[in-house]
A = this chain, B = another copy of it.
Amino acid sequence: MERATVGGMDQRVSLVTLVVTDLAATRRFYVDGLGWEPLLEAPGEVLMVQVGQHLVLSLWDEAHAVEEIGPVVRGGTAPLTLAHSVGAPAAVDAVLEDARRAGAASVRDGVRREWGGYSGYFTDPDGFLWEVAHAPGPLGELVVP
């Protein structure tokens, strides 16, 4: 079938890299706090965690990152969120509580959303927003393994 597109690049995300200001604090939150297992570490430089079948979360020390990508904007909320989807509203509350105990900088309790789901947010040590969400229907079925 002809498509009115340019095309070529597969629709895949392989790594999500967050540029962090204090990798030790980041490690305390994700590894010591949430209990996530490092996949690969270069102390002071990068910490990688597998977060999906072919997906890695990379936490990259800012001093090293700016050498490769140039300066980044700081001073408020970065224009992105990562979502962690779960199978029921009660699981949202439980994960938000896990994040609170792990030392999340802030936690916004779960609320019903107009799109039909239930979600809340927490922030990591650099203020990156994680949404913890239950989405009923096909979207939830797709993203919850």
| A52 x B13 contact (CB < 8 A) | yes
Determine how many copies of this chain the complex contains: 2
Least distance between A97 CB and chain B CB atoms (Å): 8
Please provide the chain A residues from 1 to 39 with a CB less than 8 Å away from any CB of chain B in the complex. 3-20, 31-37, 39
Interface string of A50-75 (1 = CB under 8 A from B): 11111111100010010011111111
Interface residues of A in 86-145 (CB under 8 A from B): 94-95, 97-99, 101-103, 113, 121, 126, 128-129, 131, 133, 139, 142-145
Q: Chain A interface (Cβ within 8 Å of chain B)?
A: 3-20, 31-37, 39-40, 48-58, 62, 65, 68-85, 94-95, 97-99, 101-103, 113, 121, 126, 128-129, 131, 133, 139, 142-145
- Chain B residues, CB < 8 A from A7: 34-35, 98, 102
Given A15-B82, A85-B15, answer yes or no on A71-B62 (Cβ-Cβ < 8 Å). Answer: no
Among the listed B52, B65, B79, which residue makes an inter-chain contact with A19, where contact means beta carbons less than 8 Å apart? Answer: B79
Q: A78-B72, A142-B50 are in contact. Are A33 and B11 (CB under 8 A)?
A: no
Q: Are B15 and A36 in contact (CB under 8 A)?
A: no
Kindly state the separation between the CA atoms of A82 and B37 in the bound complex, as whole angstroms. 21
